[in-house]
């Protein structure tokens, strides 16, 4: 512990964010990192606890507390404070394949479990992580390191999201020959097309992908396994296959008028928006096929999670006339309640960047709580003109004991809308890949394995990431990819040191 009294001497200092009205003029990341000297001071705030909950990654009351990757947070915080940046990087990448991603988009489960945060502000673990990895790139010691010895074993990874890339990275380090198949035109999965540029600029992904290629991983884009190439051909060519194709089956809103023109799933909207930015870079003024602009439109986003917030931020950058975000559940409290003690994940209201921007532009929070859509309204040409909303109230189900949201009679209201974006989550993996390989799905339509395992019912076929556990966080996807890689490696070699 480099500074035993650091947590008492130094206040939390975060990267400065551009003002909302300034940052909505572009799609670039909008936080200015701290200088190295001040970032090192933030490392001094780490208490090196006897029980470091920040790296525990354990389940408490159904919620994850601490980092699922078991990142060695106190170690690299101390190394950061003492100025040993390279050793901090070595310890960081020992558990995390992609700190350049998690340092930008992770909700920082580590900080929510920080002991320092039990009494005051937690340590800036997420920003420290990002500072360590970006400095490593600047100094050149985050360079490619191809394996010295190859095993001759060939592995196919289906899907290039964080789970697939983590599995590929681990197996390549082991010396196996790894090929990643991606159906989109660019690798990265939802990192590329599900997370907007202002949260994760795409050069960050491309930089890592280029390094992985230099290390010997083959990445094939525009190949839809199960349609463009048969599963049987892959099983014949490769020693094993890892399915990491995500949970991209969006949850729909089944209400009258759903067929109106102007209703889109959030993931399709965000993907089209990112592809349009690529086309603008290549040919200014070009219109990407499938692109939907929110310019001058009255936008309604259905869903209050991260994806819904991303839709709000994107719509504002496109110049929407207004934006409203509907949330079925009641507003969370602003501070922890007594039944949500530390180190549980804090169930508190979070105002994210998109909502901050809506408040700055339109003068009010875009969120309407305990509300859902009862009907979509359309004109004689089938074009969306508005929605009918209805209020919801929490009630206890006597049979199950669970709280359910029920409609409040007579609470219907009309809301004008030209564009509706459905961000209500995902139901599970798309079935065609599983069916192509003969992999069984469980009741939640995720790929089925034994508890805590990654091998499917098909020999030499493994599943990982959202396709295996359901919609989750990037950090969980990385962990799943790493663990699936270890299990696959052990099945091929008889042992594994991954």
Could you give the dihedral angle defined by the CA atoms of residues 305, 450, 68 and 27, in that order, rounded to the nearest 10 degrees? -40
User: Sign of the C-alpha dihedral, residues 137, 140, 144, 148?
Assistant: negative
pLDDT (average), residues 165-176: 98
Q: Is pLDDT of 282 > 80?
A: no
Please state, for a pLDDT cut of 90, what percent of the chain lies above it. Answer: 92
pLDDT tens for each residue of 340-362: 999 999 999 999 999 999 999 99
pLDDT (average), residues 146-150: 97
Q: Is pLDDT of 226 > 70?
A: yes
Backbone angles phi, psi at 422, to 5 degrees: -90, 110
Q: What is the pLDDT of residue 278?
A: 93
pLDDT (average), residues 129-138: 98
Q: How confident is the model at residue 119 (pLDDT cuts 50, 70, 90)?
A: confident
Equal fold, 154-249+427-493 vs 252-424: yes
Q: Is pLDDT of 81 > 80?
A: yes
Whole-number Cα distances in Å, 272 to 205, 299, 429, 467: 18, 16, 21, 23
How far does CA 53 lie from the centroid of its chain?
Answer: 22
Q: How confident is the model at residue 125 (pLDDT cuts 50, 70, 90)?
A: very high
Q: Is pLDDT of 480 > 90?
A: yes
pLDDT tens for each residue of 314-338: 999 999 999 999 999 999 999 999 9
| Architecture of the structural domain at 6-139 | Orthogonal Bundle (1.10)
| Architecture of the structural domain at 154-249+427-493 | 3-Layer(bba) Sandwich (3.50)
Q: Say which DSSP state 330 is in.
A: P
411 close to 431: Cβ distance less than 8 angstroms: no
Q: How many residues does the chain have?
A: 498
Q: What is the pLDDT of residue 290?
A: 73
How far does CA 243 lie from the centroid of its chain?
Answer: 18
Residues 6+ apart with CB under 8 A from 125: 46, 54, 73, 77, 108, 110, 111, 114
- Helices 162-174, 202-214: crossing angle, 10 deg rounding: 20
Please state, for a pLDDT cut of 70, what percent of the chain lies above it. Answer: 98
Query: Strands, DSSP E only, in 159-265?
Result: 177-182, 218-221, 240-243, 249-250, 263-265
Q: Is pLDDT of 287 > 70?
A: no
How far does CA 399 lie from the centroid of its chain?
Answer: 35
Report which of 482, 475, 481 is spatially closest to residue 68, judged by C-alpha positions. Answer: 475
174 close to 84: Cβ distance less than 8 angstroms: no
Q: How confident is the model at residue 289 (pLDDT cuts 50, 70, 90)?
A: low
Query: CA 195, CA 104: separation in Å to the nearest integer?
Result: 11
Q: What is the pLDDT of residue 337?
A: 94
Q: What average pLDDT does the structure give for the chain?
A: 95
User: What's the burial of 221, exposed, middle or buried (CB within 10 Å: 0-12/13-18/19+)?
Assistant: middle
Q: What is the pLDDT of residue 1?
A: 65
Q: What is the pLDDT of residue 141?
A: 94
Q: Say which DSSP state 452 is in.
A: T
Q: What is the pLDDT of residue 396?
A: 87
Query: CA 49, CA 1: separation in Å to the nearest integer?
Result: 9
Q: What is the pLDDT of residue 288?
A: 65
| Architecture of the structural domain at 252-424 | 3-Layer(bba) Sandwich (3.50)
Domain ranges of the chain: 6-139, 154-249+427-493, 252-424
* The two three-digit tokens of residue 385, written as one number: 């003109």
């Amino acid at each position: 512990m480099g500074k035993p009294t650091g947590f008492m001497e130094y206040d939390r200092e975060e990267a400065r964010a551009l003002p909302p009205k300034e940052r909505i003029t572009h799609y670039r990341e909008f936080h200015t990192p701290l200088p190295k000297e001040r970032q090192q001071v933030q490392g001094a705030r780490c208490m090196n606890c006897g029980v470091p909950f920040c790296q525990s990654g354990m389940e408490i009351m159904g919620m994850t507390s601490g980092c699922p990757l078991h990142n060695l947070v106190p170690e690299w915080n101390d190394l950061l404070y003492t100025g040993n940046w390279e050793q901090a990087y070595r310890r960081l990448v020992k558990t995390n394949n992609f700190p350049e991603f998690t340092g930008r988009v992770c909700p920082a489960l580590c900080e929510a479990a920080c002991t320092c945060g039990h009494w005051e502000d937690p340590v800036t673990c997420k920003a420290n992580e990002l500072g360590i990895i970006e400095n490593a790139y600047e100094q050149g010691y985050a360079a490619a390191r191809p394996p010295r010895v190859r095993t001759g074993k060939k592995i196919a990874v289906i899907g290039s999201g964080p789970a697939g890339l983590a599995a590929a990275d681990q197996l390549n380090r082991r010396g196996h020959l790894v090929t990643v198949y991606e159906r989109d035109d660019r690798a990265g999965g939802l990192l590329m097309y599900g997370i907007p540029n202002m949260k994760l600029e795409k050069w960050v992904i491309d930089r890592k992908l280029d390094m992985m290629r230099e290390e010997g991983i083959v990445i094939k884009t525009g190949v839809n396994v199960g349609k463009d190439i048969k599963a049987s051909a892959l099983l014949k060519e490769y020693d094993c296959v890892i399915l990491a194709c995500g949970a991209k089956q969006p949850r729909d809103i089944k209400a009258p008028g759903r067929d109106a023109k102007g209703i889109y799933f959030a993931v399709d909207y965000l993907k089209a928006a990112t592809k349009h930015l690529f086309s603008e870079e290549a040919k200014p003024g070009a219109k990407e096929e499938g692109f939907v602009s929110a310019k001058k439109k009255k936008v309604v986003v259905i869903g209050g999670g991260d994806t819904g917030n991303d839709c709000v931020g994107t719509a504002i950058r496109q110049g929407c006339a207004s934006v409203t975000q509907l949330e079925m559940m009641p507003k969370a409290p602003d501070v922890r309640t007594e039944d949500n003690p530390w180190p549980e994940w804090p169930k508190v209201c979070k105002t994210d960047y998109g909502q901050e921007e809506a408040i700055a532009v339109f003068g009010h929070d875009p969120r309407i709580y305990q509300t859902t859509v009862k009907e979509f309204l359309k004109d004689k040409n089938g074009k969306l003109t508005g929605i009918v909303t209805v209020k919801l109230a929490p009630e206890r189900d006597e049979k199950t004991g669970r709280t359910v949201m029920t409609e409040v009679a007579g609470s219907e209201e009309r809301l004008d809308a030209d564009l509706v974006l459905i961000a209500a989550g995902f139901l599970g993996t798309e079935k065609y890949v599983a069916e192509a390989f003969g992999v069984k799905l469980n009741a939640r339509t995720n790929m089925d394995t034994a508890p805590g395992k990654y091998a499917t019912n098909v020999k030499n076929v493994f599943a990982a990431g959202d396709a295996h556990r359901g919609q989750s966080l990037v950090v969980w996807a990385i962990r799943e990819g790493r663990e699936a890689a270890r299990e696959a490696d052990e099945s091929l070699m008889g042992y594994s040191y991954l």
